[in-house]
Structure 1
Amino acid sequence: MADVVPMDLVVLADDEGNSVSIKVSGPESTWSVGLAAEIVVETPFVSGRCLLILSASKVRAWGSALDSLEAGEDIAWMQMDRGPTVSIQLNGDRGCPEVVVEDETTSMVTVRVPIDLPPDWVAAHQERLRELVAAWGLLA
């Protein structure tokens, strides 16, 4: 695998200062087939981080989740795994999408972040996914 710099798989952000991102730092040192990553939540009210290991199956599931979002369906990504769950509700209570990060196994905290996303955000994330797969050869 080539020497690749860290990259963002997910960047959901708006002009109000609300964001949820997933930052991939590189190969996981304790598991040779995974990537070390973290979920980062930042809002004017609350912020936090949660460590995460991305396997090829989680990356494939993110691709499927993006397809569902593109079709207008809400998603819950990584829901059946140990570790955090990221859900996206396209029509949240505040008239914009809401991202819900649940970390039931470690911190037992759930954060709901309304984010006014641009119209092309799904396509941009499909491109981010392609770039991550190409950089890390994760699905090869």
Structure 2
Amino acid sequence: MNEWVPVDLIHLSDGRDVSLVLRTVERHEPRRARVRAECLITTDFVNARLQTDIWLDHLEEWEEALRRLGAGEDAGWPQGSRGLELYFHPHEDGWLSLSVHDPDRLTVALGLRPPAEWIDEHEANLQRLRDACGEP
């Protein structure tokens, strides 16, 4: 049996002191609609770890959000969720504004300049998660 390895669906960082990571924290169980995850937020004024879930039926929506972000449009994910919600606003100069909203625990806004290839990296992360969960 293969050893389980966490998958970062989202990993954005300025390489210094601002980062947002959405990472699986346990192996996906077959026939489950979700995988346990944590959202890690680090800045010079916040260091937060939020327990959450990644719902597998929201992965197509994340794929669409990445498409929109690649086109320079705003995107939010997941839409209509009662839990953790992420909002992304790309700027023309390469800067990315992020908002993390968890209605029961935290709302925080971040800004960073991700590497130019960050959309491609996140599409690969999405495929890694789909593969790990046996999703098409």
For 1:39, the equivalent position in structure 2 comes to 39
For 2:121, the equivalent position in structure 1 comes to 124
* Structure 1: gaps (5+ residues): none
Q: Which amino acid aligns with 2:36?
A: A
Q: Percent identity?
A: 28
For 2:10, the equivalent position in structure 1 comes to 10
TM-score by length of 2: 0.88
Q: 2:8·2:24 contact (CA, 8 Å) conserved in 1?
A: yes
Question: In the alignment, is residue 21 of structure 1 matched against residue 21 of structure 2?
Answer: yes
User: How far did residue 124 of structure 1 move?
Assistant: 0.6
* Structure 2: gaps (5+ residues): none
CA-based RMSD = 2.3
How far apart in 1 are the matches of 2:94 and 2:54?
31
Aligned residues: 135
* Aligned-partner SS, 2:57: helix
Q: Structure 1 pair 2/57, CA: closer, same or farther in 2 (3 Å)?
A: farther
TM-score by length of 1: 0.85
- The equivalences for 1:43-54 within 5 A come to 43-54=43-54
How far apart in 2 are the matches of 1:27 and 1:95?
34
Structure 1: which 4+ aligned runs deviate by more than 6 Å? none
